[in-house]
Amino acid sequence: MTPLVFNTQIAKGKPSNNDGCPFCDIEKLTGIIEKQNQFIWLENKYQTLLDTYLTLIIESSDHLGDITNYSYEYNRSLIHYAVDKWLKLDNSKQYRSVAMFKNFGPLSGGSLRHPHLQIVGFKKADIYSEVHSENFTGLSIKKGPNFEVNMSLQPIMGYTEFNVIISNMDKLDLFSDNIKDLVSFCMSEAFYQGRCKSYNLFFYRIDGKVICKLVPRFITPPYYIGYRQSQRNSDINLEKIKTDFFNYIEN
């Protein structure tokens, strides 16, 4: 896959968490595409990638908001809204591929704490070219009609990657609830004794399915950086994580 080209000159102007939060100052926001209650879909002021159209969704007016502290109802509304905008951009046929993802925490690649999702249209790149259906199969956690939650046995990077999969849009509430449960679990003491402080969510539309991959973030393994070689937890560890998840949900 040809590398994406990053414009460092534009990136120099981006705010950080050490600056005033631009997403808190709603009156000064520019490039707004649409507003719905607290959700704001807007063009990213800093178009840092060549041949792309970068947009984002401000999730909440609460600077410290996150999936972990949203109500189930609020999170459902957010996921419904975000998926609708992602598919709207994808269905416009203006881009070769369209990605939606979320960064949270210092190891996630995000620069601002204020909760937001990103939707990016790629004019030339197929952002999914290195992603395969095998990356979304694995140890089943939950399964029902048109719905599954599992942990990857062939992860994109590793070590633990959770997949929430639906093949019918009427399962979008179930999709949202399980994303919330998994994110809350990964950011709790029940997962690696609370050592996880960052995560990414990646969304895919593959083979008629809508998929969310949750990747708890730690230091990126050198095998992946140097050789593109993913790693995964042992079967015993994955089974333990599955048990810990159910214990967490029940409590």
Identify the domain containing residue 208 by its residue range: 133-250
Q: Check whether residue 108 and residue 186 sit in a common domain.
A: no
Q: Which of 76, 91, 122 is the last residue of a domain?
A: 122
pLDDT for 144 equals 95
Q: Check whether residue 113 and residue 147 sit in a common domain.
A: no
Quick: pLDDT tens for 208-250: 999 999 999 999 999 999 999 999 999 999 999 999 999 999 9
pTM for the model = 0.96
pLDDT for 242 equals 98
Mean pLDDT for the stretch of residues 143-159 = 96
In a domain, 1, yes or no: no
- CATH code (residue 162): 3.30.428
Q: Check whether residue 137 and residue 217 sit in a common domain.
A: yes
Q: Which of 91, 122, 153 is the last residue of a domain?
A: 122
pLDDT for 92 equals 95
pLDDT at residue 9 above 90? no
pLDDT at residue 19 above 90? no
Q: Check whether residue 139 and residue 187 sit in a common domain.
A: yes
Quick: pLDDT tens for 41-85: 999 999 999 999 999 999 999 999 999 999 999 999 999 999 999
Q: Check whether residue 37 and residue 141 sit in a common domain.
A: no
In a domain, 158, yes or no: yes
The number of domains in the chain is 2
In a domain, 98, yes or no: yes
* Average pLDDT value for the chain: 95
With a CB cutoff of 8 Å and minimum separation 6, the contacts of 120 are 49, 52, 53, 54, 55, 98, 99, 100, 127
With a CB cutoff of 8 Å and minimum separation 6, the contacts of 162 are 141, 149, 150, 151, 152, 182, 186, 213, 214, 215
Q: Which of 64, 97, 122 is the last residue of a domain?
A: 122
Mean pLDDT for the stretch of residues 189-208 = 96
Q: Check whether residue 81 and residue 156 sit in a common domain.
A: no
